A and B are shown apart, each in its own frame.
Chain A
Amino acid sequence: MPHWIDACATGDIDAEDLIRFDHANQTFAIYHAPEGDFYATAGQCTHEAVHLCDGLVMGHLIECPKHNGQFDYRTGEAKRAPVCAPLRTYPVKVEDGRVFIDVDA
């Protein structure tokens, strides 16, 4: 059973950017891809406990602000060292200009 949480408005995130979203002791990163889709991942890098919200979105990659490790935020796949472990991803839906993420997925 999905547990959809209203995270933000679509206009809260610039295209090709991300924001941080915290909910119930969990932290997430929500992305606005260049073509307009939204995605969500765990907020912290899998290399060290650094939040990705200060990182750089380039196309479908998020680059971590600490050591420049990269993930594909659509799949969570680790794309550039020093990250090796994948990033957890969460389902997203957009309704009435709001972005929802399934935090229990």
Chain B
Amino acid sequence: MGKRDYNLLGPDAQRAVQTGLAAAQWYHSDVPRREMKELMQRSDGPAIRDTVILLVALAAFAALGIALWPSYWAIPFWLAYGVLYGSAMDSRWHECGHGTAFKTPWMNTAVYEIASFCMMRNSATWRWSHARHHTDTVIVGRDPEIAVMRPPVFFKVLANFVGLFDAASGLTRMVYNALGRVHPEEAVYIPTQEQHKVIRVARISVAIYGLTIGLAIWTGSILPLMVIGLPRLYGAWHHVMTGLLQHGGLADNVTDHRLNSRTVYMNRVSRFIYWNMNYHVEHHMFPMVPYHALPALHAKIKHDLPAPNLSIAQGFAEMWPALRRQLANEDYFIQRALPPTAQPYRTDFHAAALGSATR
């Protein structure tokens, strides 16, 4: 395929539409309807429990960080606060955006708005961009949420472990939208009648950040920004680490999530922060299944999936060399073996788009 153009208005976007890669039918593992209905059932209990734990922990760590400020003893508490703010909020944004975390709609909406703000994402814009990510997962020119483009820009990837590029683009776009404008790329996937919400959300966010900066100036202390804003930087590393694993080094321009998504077994703390999105193939195949039911879904369909990575470290050991190879060869990707019990990869739709270099 050669040089990729990730612009949503560019030639690769047009080609994806022409070749049928855009809005295509995707492969799904077989799960009997009755079992799938069980897995899709919503409940408030798990998400209320997790949200209470998250909010109480955030309040406690911030309180201790403030109380111990400016001694070095405050550092561990700010680091813990940061990870909950700058990483756990990413998965809350994600699950509540799908509307699957809670059964009660207003709870999903409330947590979605708070989490979007923490992650410096416009809640109105990102609802639509994420829908596109699910329609056209890692389809070049169509998916607005590709974390590592080819060839990878390692400086950018590493800088985002402390949120530098993501926060800068989030803030820039926030101000742009607050001035009453919707970017032409946003207009590709946000329906016209919804675009006014983008501007309203941006203005509210700018007002909150303005107040926080004003408070920091007034008090002559960085503390207000340690609570609001900066944790998006110093706590971003965990969501970037797990986010890179979702699709990094795997195929693009395919219509089988087993080829472009990665399931990774993780420790309990990371799974709390990440809200079980380590079961990422399962999530993409069946986005209706709430985070708390993903382990059960995994158990049901793992016979049809490539073997999961056994840890975050093992996932990186697989992904990182592949990213490095993509520097020299954009078409390189990892194609993992399927177990004998699996249906073969569905390459019929996208055969023309697959590169020849595989591991």
Which A positions have Cβ atoms within 8 angstroms of B? 14, 17, 47-49, 54-56, 58, 63, 65-68, 70, 80-82, 84
B131 close to chain A: CB less than 8 A? yes
Residues of A close to B100: CB separation below 8 A:
68
B127 close to chain A: CB less than 8 A? yes
Q: Which of B41, B99, B127, B288 contacts A55 (CB 8 A)?
A: B288
Which B positions have Cβ atoms within 8 angstroms of A? 23, 33-34, 36-37, 40-42, 98-100, 105, 127-128, 131, 134-135, 191, 193-194, 286-288
Q: Which of B34, B42, B194 contacts A84 (CB 8 A)?
A: B194
Interchain Cβ contacts under 8 Å between A and B, 16 examples: A17-B33, A49-B23, A55-B288, A56-B37, A56-B40, A63-B99, A63-B288, A65-B286, A65-B287, A66-B134, A68-B98, A70-B99, A80-B99, A82-B131, A84-B193, A84-B194
Report how many A-B pairs have Cβ atoms within 8 Å: 44
Nearest-CB distance from A67 to chain B (Å)?
4
Nearest-CB distance from A59 to chain B (Å)?
11
Known interface pairs A17-B37, A49-B23, A81-B127; A67-B194 also in contact (CB < 8 Å): no
Chain B residue nearest to A49 (CB atoms) is: B23
A58–B100 Cα distance when bound, in Å, is: 12
Nearest-CB distance from B77 to chain A (Å)?
36
Residues of A close to B135: CB separation below 8 A:
48, 66-67
Residues of B close to A47: CB separation below 8 A:
131
Chain A residue nearest to B99 (CB atoms) is: A68
Chain B residue nearest to A69 (CB atoms) is: B131
Please list the 8 inter-chain residue pairs (A to B) with the smallest Cβ-Cβ separation, ordered nearest first.
Answer: A67-B131, A82-B131, A56-B40, A68-B99, A68-B98, A65-B288, A84-B191, A56-B288
Known: A17-B33, A68-B98. 14 other contacts (CB 8 A): A47-B131, A48-B23, A49-B23, A54-B36, A55-B288, A56-B288, A58-B42, A63-B288, A65-B286, A65-B287, A65-B288, A68-B287, A81-B127, A82-B127
A22–B33 Cα distance when bound, in Å, is: 18
| Interface pair B287/A67, CB less than 8 Å apart | yes
Chain B residue nearest to A61 (CB atoms) is: B105
Residues of A close to B33: CB separation below 8 A:
17
Chain A residue nearest to B103 (CB atoms) is: A58
Nearest-CB distance from B291 to chain A (Å)?
13
Nearest-CB distance from B296 to chain A (Å)?
16
Chain B residue nearest to A70 (CB atoms) is: B99
Residues of A close to B194: CB separation below 8 A:
81, 84
Nearest-CB distance from A4 to chain B (Å)?
27
Q: Which of A48, A66, A70 contacts B287 (CB 8 A)?
A: A66
A58–B287 Cα distance when bound, in Å, is: 16
Residues of B close to A80: CB separation below 8 A:
99, 105
Most buried by B among A17, A47, A66, A70: A66
A66–B286 Cα distance when bound, in Å, is: 8
Chain A residue nearest to B130 (CB atoms) is: A67
Chain A residue nearest to B41 (CB atoms) is: A56
Residues of A close to B42: CB separation below 8 A:
58
Chain B residue nearest to A58 (CB atoms) is: B42
